[in-house]
Chain A
Amino acid sequence: MSTTDSPHPGRLHPITITVREMADIFGRMGFDVVQGPELETEWYNFDALNIPNDHPSRDMWDTFWTKTKGGEERKVLRTHTSPMQIRWLEKQGAPTRIVVPGKVFRNEATDATHEAQFYQLEGLAIDTNVTLGHLKGTLERFCKEYFGNDAKVRLRPSYFPFVEPGVEIDVWFPAQKKWLEVMGAGMVHPKVLQNAGVDATRYQGFAFGLGVERFIMIKYGIPDIRLFHSGDIRFNYAFNEKPV
């Protein structure tokens, strides 16, 4: 008569579930999943990405630095997953297609839409003829598969030191009848390719970086980003989760 003999399975974290879904979508477009260190060198996090020291572009990222003793190299908690562009290209070379999910850190006051730590998913596609049109096509397909077939994508001019041209990606949500800014992207800057030892006269490609929490928040109407890394199981169980 008892209905509780069978063991109850637990639940994955919503970020794990979402990263799997995103990895699947990009996997179907030929992207590998790779991961990188959270504690980075200044070179990989900034200089190699064309963000020189004492340049105003560094202000775009509020950075956590490690305390060092004399002679030690100071490190940063990576402010984005973009350092893996360099690390991966150094190791693997071109052509390549990867996505890099991982935790990143920003030293900024937290509130309902800002957390000092969150997940990004970086994308990188390098070949001899990858264009901004491919970026548009790839992200359009991704957004349609993730948000639903009615989603539309548009590009606006923007600036990130490691891409040229740089763009901001907006997605159209028919239900809410509005465009939302969802990620930064662009064509990988030739200096970045050179810094990773890739022949920039032969290869080119695109990169993008999206905030995983932001995507989940938009899709499911989550009110507060701080729920994600609170260690609170009520958050896992607030979703009406089903196996696919």
Chain B
Amino acid sequence: MKVSLKWLQTYFDAPLPPAEQIADALTFHAFEIEEIQGDMLDVKVLPNRAADCLSHRGIAKELSAILDIPLTNDPLRRDVGTSYVPTSLTVEIEDPKKCSRYMGALVKRVRIGPSPAWLKKALESVGQRSINNIVDATNYVMLNIGQPLHAFDARRLKLEAGCLKIGVRNAKQGEQITTLSGEAFALNPSTLLITDENAGAPIALAGVKGGNVAELTAETTDLVVESANFNGTSVRKTAQTLKLPTDASQRFQNRPSPELCAYGMRDVLALITDIAGGEVVGVVDEYPARPETKPVLVTLARINGLLGSSFSRDEVLGVCTRLGLETKSEGDSFTITPPFERTDLTIPEDFAEEVGRILGYDRIPAAELPPTLGTPDQSRYRGIERMKDQLVEQGFTEVSTQSFAKKGDILLANPLDKTKPALRTSLEQNLQEAFARAKQYAPLVLAPNQKPKLFEVGTVFQKDGEKLEVKTSEPVSDLPEIRDDANYVPKRYELGAYKPFSVYPFIVRDISAFSPETGEMQSYDPTQESEFEKLIQESAGPLLIRIVHFDAFQKGKRISYTSRLTFQSMERTLTDGEVNGIMEKVSAMLHTAGYEVR
């Protein structure tokens, strides 16, 4: 949710702190901030708060509670009234489970046109585009208090006996709609529609997007304004099926309170008549399914007992006041009735969270768990680790490969890689591929006479279920079954520093040389071999990434040393010519030092 600081400021008499402080306050007490861009904060509203906080009012209320500064002129605490002037507009809701409330207003003689500068600026400050004064008014009120709204051209709806009739019903098989953006959709019967009942025609995908049938135009003078509450599941399904996520669908799928409809209607009608003139002829309010707000009983002991805190009664009451939660307290018990928009607060634990986050989790002391009795049973895990240790001892290196395969008994409905739509039935294929590469990479990591040997322990998926498989790249005669082992202590290693490796090909060269003549009989000397290798390293430069002892033997009075050299660049593929050049330099250096290169 993009919020504008200037917009938030309209909720406070006192000047708000700078953007960074606001971002910190929200981060540690409410929501993460994705980004700050001048006057704009992108707030990552958590899913459980999307019902009330996908709005400037919601974020302002949070700030008011966190910073303990009063919210002035809260639109949700201003009376909306309950009686409306009846009008020649009727609404019929087929299933109250899918639409708990539908308010429609008939507004006549508006002048459609560009929005005033303040409204354009406000919308642009949160990345929205200005369209016309009517559409902008509906968007502004939605971004301000969270209620999605829509305006239809009333004169494009069919009058029958002097009445307009709005329907809220499921689509009929084969019914179609073209949206405001011109996309046509064939609908299935689970799609909830807003219809012009007199014409029998769909005019909007309920809670998702308007249709082009009753779209506003430059000639529009009369409006039907909608402020409704549609079922979150239904809206979510439609938006997902049609791949049409909108600001409205995002809000409805998070189930805002239907009470909010009246506030949205009040504010949007006031704004429309203010900036586009016209007259509200009347409002219809079909409200078949009112939510119940239940008080929740919470005790101070429960709050502190869950958080591990020692907050006082007064601190808890302070949090309730700051959040605007109607609270009756008796001793250390609180009976809390959240305001209608806080649909997320239903159990005592919810209130413990409110207390913890508003007062700050930094105030909760870290505590160690008390010691447990008895030794933990880890025999299955230890048994598996024992098997791995045995294989490592026998020279096997453990690899981990992908669980997806070209073929298998269990197929995925939605594979990521279409060429691997199945789950592996065996580790065999992956291990063979890993082994082929291991042979190729051996000169980079293994000793010259060390044969690559690999194993994997992993889950495989067969017709009769999943099982743990152990696979080795060559047969192991005494490989035992994995057995539970309560007493085995897995070997511990420390992963030391990590040295990134190159993805480019490498080149291997051996170099052999006789030690310098001394006239004396020489014998194999590790110190001399180190010097030999040092000379090579110095002359070869940084492209030599590995040098290992390969061979050493006596001939005559001298010793022959052979080393295996591996060349590789982090940035590019080396050429033979380049490595030949290096080898010549190495030979020259050895020669200067008295070695006879073979």
Contact = CB atoms under 8 A, between A and B. Distances in A.
Interface of A: 1, 3-4, 7-18, 20-21, 23-24, 27, 29-35, 37-39, 54-57, 59-60, 64-68, 74, 77, 97, 103, 105, 107-110, 116-117, 125, 129-134, 136-138, 140-141, 153-159, 161, 164-168, 187, 189-190, 204, 216, 219-223, 228-244
A64 B497 contact: no
Nearest to A234: B501
Contact of A27 (B378, B448, B498): B378
A167 B361 contact: yes
Given A138-B368, A233-B454, A12 B398 contact: yes
A136 B236 CA distance: 36
B369 A133 contact: no
Nearest to B308: A133
A17 B500 CA distance: 19
A241 B493 contact: yes
A157 B410 contact: no
A12 B456 CA distance: 10
Closest 9 CB pairs of A and B: A133-B308, A131-B308, A240-B496, A231-B434, A165-B353, A30-B372, A237-B445, A32-B376, A10-B397
B400 A11 contact: no
A10 B254 contact: no
Nearest to A29: B369
Interface residues of B, number: 109
B414 A64 contact: yes
Contacts of B12: none
18 contacts: A8-B395, A8-B450, A11-B398, A24-B492, A30-B376, A54-B233, A97-B372, A105-B403, A107-B416, A109-B416, A116-B404, A131-B308, A132-B308, A132-B356, A134-B369, A233-B441, A234-B445, A238-B501
A236 B305 CA distance: 46
Contacts of B376: 27, 30-33, 97
Interface string B388-399: 110111111111
Contact of B423 (A10, A39, A156): A39
A60 B254 CA distance: 13
A132 B306 contact: yes
A126 to B, nearest CB: 11
Interface of B: 27-32, 46-50, 232-233, 236-237, 253-254, 305-309, 347, 349-350, 352-353, 356-357, 361-362, 364-369, 371-372, 376-378, 380-381, 385, 388-389, 391-404, 410-416, 423, 430-431, 433-434, 437-438, 441, 444-450, 452-456, 458-459, 461, 465-466, 490-501, 524, 549, 552-553
Contact of A14 (B366, B495, B549): B495
B558 to A, nearest CB: 14
Contacts of B232: 55-56
B495 A216 contact: yes
Nearest to A110: B416
A4 B448 contact: yes
A27 B553 CA distance: 52
B577 to A, nearest CB: 26
A17 B393 contact: no
B365 A133 contact: yes
Given A12-B397, A32-B377, 17 more contacts: A4-B448, A33-B376, A39-B461, A54-B236, A67-B411, A110-B416, A130-B369, A132-B356, A134-B368, A138-B368, A187-B306, A187-B349, A204-B305, A239-B499, A241-B495, A243-B491, A243-B494
Contacts of A12: 388-389, 392, 397-398, 493
Nearest to A63: B414
A188 to B, nearest CB: 10
Contact of B411 (A66, A158, A228): A66
A86 B412 CA distance: 25
B30 A10 contact: no
Nearest to B31: A157
Which interface residue of A34, A161, A228, A233 has the most chain B CB atoms within 10 A? A233
Contacts of B524: 1
Nearest to B497: A240
A239 B495 contact: yes
Contacts of A232: 399, 434, 437, 441
A240 B381 contact: no
Contact of B350 (A9, A137, A153, A164): A164
A42 to B, nearest CB: 12
Contacts of A164: 347, 349-350, 352-353
Which interface residue of B371, B445, B446 has the most chain A CB atoms within 10 A? B445
B416 A133 contact: no
Contacts of B411: 66-67
Given A164-B353, A233-B441, A33 B361 contact: no
Which interface residue of B232, B399, B501 has the most chain A CB atoms within 10 A? B399
B356 A165 contact: yes
Contacts of B495: 14, 17-18, 216, 219-220, 239, 241
Contact of B364 (A21, A31, A133): A133
A140 B366 contact: yes
B381 A35 contact: yes
Contacts of A125: 369
A29 B306 CA distance: 20
Which interface residue of B254, B309, B414 has the most chain A CB atoms within 10 A? B414
Contacts of A68: 413
B225 to A, nearest CB: 27
A231 B433 contact: yes
A80 B367 CA distance: 27
Given A29-B369, A32-B378, A233-B434, A154 B496 contact: no
A153 to B, nearest CB: 8
Contact of B500 (A105, A134, A230, A238): A238
B445 A56 contact: no
A189 B346 CA distance: 12
B429 to A, nearest CB: 11
Given A231-B433, A231-B437, A157 B30 contact: yes
Contacts of A18: 495
A141 B369 CA distance: 11
Nearest to B358: A157
B552 A240 contact: no
